[in-house]
Amino acid sequence: MTNKLATILQNDAPLPVGKVPDWMLADSPSDIGGGLTGGGSRDRISVKGNRFRLVQAGVEVAKKDEPYLDVVIIAANEHVSRIFYKDKFDPDVKAAPDCFSADGVSPTEGASNPQSSKCATCPQNVKGSAITENNKKRKACSYSKRIVVTRVGDEDRTLYQMDLKSMSIYGDGVPPSHLYTLQGYAKLLAAKKLRSDILVTRISFDDESSVPKLYFTPQEFLKKAEYDEIKKLADSPEIKDLIAVDVYTTAPDSGTGDAEFQNYSAPKAPVAPAKEELDLDDIATDETPTPKKIAAKKPLPKPVVEVVDDADDALLNELDNLLDS
């Protein structure tokens, strides 16, 4: 089935003036893109084993069989956080990281073993400061971005935290198939001056990746009544608490077994600090690889790709239909 909304948003032409209601438009660029331009007891969504798992009060209460989840992204922390474990990460042991930065700029107060006064000059932020199990050089300090979502079809409008890792934030997307990592998705919405909370977003797994990697795809606009409900949630005091990041709410729960942070061993020789530089090769593995199952894996349906002409009359008609439906 053709994804009409994704095709329209991907087109280079701006959305026509007056076609999109004011309540859909963002006052400032991309509300989910903060920090992307250059578990606790709360409800959250885990991606352990390439499956969406609903976790409430630290206990897994449901596992989704479908390789995708339709949500509304209500809010996102404005920063990309950083997490460092000196020793090899053990998913069965709940422990705070040695060093942690909520804003990705400097260690958060309370970090047990700060590695540097600034993340940009930290020796753990250098390629080669960690070696993977496959003997590849990586950065020992990993990335994390928190978003808050509610599931489409959930009458209770339960709010869930999701902590996204490097590959889901910065990794390569597949724009021709409308599959974006968070950074690419934020740029797509910002280009159209749209907020993330006015549409349904499909989050799906990259079925070619051995570790959980997520893609984001626009599905459809919300109806005005649906948006009014979402706005009440977005304006609630609970949202501020849910998007807040600290050492304790970011640490993985032993009950879920998520390899939330990098599973690296530190090299014996220290590595000299360097200027901050995001290298996609550095973030290729953020979590412990998921063992391959012998059973055949059901492939994720590939979206239909359409050839789009700039300012095509057909696109304007489709936009009219989407907004009127």
pLDDT tens column, 312-325: 555 556 666 666 65
pTM score? 0.69
Predicted confidence at residue 94, as pLDDT, reads: 72
Instruction: Give the tens place of pLDDT for each residue, 237-262.
Output: 899 899 998 765 654 432 332 333 33
Instruction: Determine the Cα–Cα distance for residues 34 and 11; give it in Å rounded to an integer.
Output: 23
Element of type H or E holding 10: helix 4-10
Q: What is the pLDDT of residue 95?
A: 77
Q: Which of 67, 226, 239, 234 is CA-nearest to residue 146?
A: 239
Taking the C-alpha atoms of residue 276 and residue 19, their distance in angstroms, rounded to an integer, is: 42
Mean pLDDT of the region 78-89: 88
Q: pLDDT tens for residues 3-58?
A: 777 777 777 666 665 667 777 766 655 556 655 544 446 899 999 889 999 999 88
Of 60, 5, 51, the residue nearest 300 (C-alpha): 51
Per-residue model confidence as pLDDT tens digits over 167-217: 999 988 999 999 999 999 999 999 999 999 999 999 999 988 888 999 999
- The 8-class DSSP code of residue 320 comes to H
- Assign 291 a pLDDT band (cuts: 50, 70, 90): very low
State the pLDDT confidence band at 283, using cuts at 50, 70 and 90: very low
Instruction: Identify the three-state secondary structure at position 315.
Output: helix
For residue 220, what are its two tokens? Answer: 């459809």
Predicted pLDDT at 275: 41
For residue 251, give both structure tokens: 């640490």
Between 85-99, 130-144, 154-168, 224-238, the lowest mean confidence (pLDDT) is in 85-99
| Two tokens, residue 37 | 């331009």
Q: What is the DSSP letter of 265?
A: B
- Alpha carbon distance 11, 2 (integer Å): 15
